[in-house]
Amino acid sequence: MPGIDKLPIEETLEDSPQTRSLLGVFEEDATAISNYVNQLFQAMHRIYDAQRFPLGGDDEVMTSTLQQFAKVIDELSSCHAVLSTQLADAMMFPITQFKERDLKEILTLKEVFQIASNDHDAAITRYGRLSKRRENEKIKAEVMEDVYTSRKKQHQTMMHYFCALNTLQYKKKIAMLEPLLGYMQAQISFFKMGSENLTEQLEEFLTNIGTSVQNVRREMDCEVENMQQTIEDLEVASDPLYLPDPDTTKFPVHRNLTRKAGYLNTRNKTGLVSSSWERQFYFTQGGNLMSQARGDVAGGLVMDIDNCSVMAVDCEDRRYCFQITSFDGKKSSILQAESKKDYEEWICTINNISKQIYLSENPEEIAARVNQSALEAVTPSPSFQQRHESMRPAVQSRPLAARTSSTGSLGSESAGLSTLSLDSLVAPETPIQFDIISPVSEDFPGQTKSSGQSGRRTNPFGELGGSKSETEDSILHQLFIVRFLGSMEVKSDESPDVVYETMRQILAARAIHNVFRMTESHLLVTCDCLKLIDPQTQVTRLRFPLPNVVLYATHQENKRLFGFVLRTSGGRVESRQTSICYIFESNNEGEKICDSVGLAKQIAFHAELDRKASEKQKEIDRVKEKQQKELNKQKQIEKDLEEQSRLIAASSRSNQNSGEGQFVVLSSSQSEDSDLGEDGKKKRESEA
């Protein structure tokens, strides 16, 4: 006999749309069998009723009329009586049993399964509405017990329903063959009684049919026994899985997956502030996230998750929520997993797919190798206090012209880059900081704290409430949405490889230590500084002076990642300069941000050159003004000397004419010369 299709009992607990679709095919087949059996039963019942031969011995008219045929009629009547008995036993009894017992059992199990499935959906919906903040242990225990009971009932009912449908695939062959076989055997026996000319080929054919029926029956009994054993084994193995949130110590999280499927709750907005949650079956297909509602033939595309970003979020006081954002930032979905295990596996799987690991030949091996390499290469700080104590540099200004030519999103590499090792870029055991320290409570590298600065509400366009902002006069104001990934101290700031290596270590550390939460901020780029602003409160979280930003770059492949190196002085050794690399994720705007920073540095550099040129011109003007004053003074002295000489000459002529005893009238300048004495005269002569 050819192979018989069966429902997979092992997939009853998953209860995926594909399993439901396959179940629908078997249910349609069972309905078709039921309709066919009803028609066959009616046809065979007519055959059975037709065997009640009308020519009996009770008919006096026929007996008197056909007296000569009485003996033949009696023999014919006895033959039909035997045929009727054989048809009742071999034809009507099997099909009646199949119709009244087996088909009714299928209908009953279908109703029971539908009720169990509805109860399970209702329990899951109630479990999904459990409050995260106002947790009531009594209500939680009742809800979890309800989920456990309904899931166990649905699983057991579904397994028995599948078993009955699989058995029906065998019984339908028996139900169609046994009545026909009984009918043929009864007819042969009937004709044998009237004729002995039946061929042996027909008997051999009927014998083969009978042998086949027996083989199918034996195979069915063996398969039923195997399915019952499978049901018992699955009930024992699946008992811990009936709980909605199983223990992760017994069921470890698989972080190397590149394919994942399961039910998730998706958030749909129904108004400006209202939303609803819908439970759907989600699965990954290559670089796409698909969803399929129960009853749909195929799944639909939700979004392209190549180069996407995934992060844990808090949404409507629900647990295990995460958000997926497309590579261009135009589409996002908020989903809720049923358990912590599913929650972490979905985030890890989407992260692996986002890196396009699924395109390789052995994606799971490559994902495991990448995670293992990251684990060996990165040692994040076990204590936030260690990170805080090891990095306390103060801000020191740096000349604007420094490293202007070497900064850029993807600048040219110097000749010595090939000789740089990873240890020369980042220290092997450098602590990593995954969150932003508030400037109100902590001293952060690159953050200049002044009186009244911390906690001020800042407008992203450079305006402060009631006071003039330091960036109000800046001609460049560009705002970007970024998410802080982490920062760490680096040993070099000479090449973009420092930024690339820092990105690798921070992303690897996040994946290894399950750090999925990211702080979203607004990055304001001006000609004076870079600012991280809280998007909700408009409070400045961090401020990075632009002259201290000595290097910036975007990732070579993932353009959403970018970082910059901030050079400061201070720390534990006051005279030592430290360089700290900050890594961010944007909505596919990494190159734009780097270009904006480069433009800001160029504007600041040219502004500094203009300022210096203006100061130099002012100095030249002051020198010229001083020289002009000296020249005017010299001219006045020369004029006074000429006047004095003229008066002296006039006095000499008048003395000669008037004789001795006459007085000489001196000018004011002569008086002054006489008062100054000999030293004053020499000084005046030297100035002339």
Q: Please say whether the beta carbons of 14 and 152 come within 8 A.
A: no
pLDDT digits (tens, 9 = 90+) for 521-546: 889 898 889 999 888 788 888 889 98
pLDDT digits (tens, 9 = 90+) for 249-265: 788 888 888 899 999 99
User: pLDDT above 90 covers what percent of the chain?
Assistant: 13
pLDDT digits (tens, 9 = 90+) for 65-119: 445 444 555 666 677 777 788 888 888 888 888 888 888 888 898 899 999 999 9
Taking the CA of residue 29 as centre, how many other CA atoms within 13 Å lie in the half-sphere pointing to its CB? Answer: 19
C-beta neighbour count of 442 within 10 angstroms = 12
Interior angle at CA 53, CA 52 and CA 58, nearest 5: 105
Confidence of residue 241 (pLDDT cuts 50, 70, 90): confident
Task: Give mean pLDDT, residues 552-581.
Answer: 79
- Can you tell me the distance from the alpha carbon of 97 to that of 88, in angstroms, rounded to the nearest whole number? 12
Model confidence at 687: pLDDT above 80: no
Q: Kindly report the pTM of this predicted structure.
A: 0.47
Please choose, from the candidates 233, 292, 281, 291, the residue with its C-alpha nearest in 3D space to the C-alpha of residue 14: 281
pLDDT digits (tens, 9 = 90+) for 380-434: 434 333 433 443 333 333 333 333 333 333 333 333 333 345 556 666 667 888 8
Q: Mean pLDDT for the chain? A: 76
* Helix (H), strand (E) at residue 42: helix 17-50
Look up residue 665 and give its amino acid: V
* Helix (H), strand (E) at residue 205: helix 200-237
* Highest mean predicted confidence (pLDDT) among 153-157, 362-366, 474-478: 153-157
- The DSSP result for 226-256, as a single string, is HHHHHHHHHHHHTGGGGSSS--TTTS----S
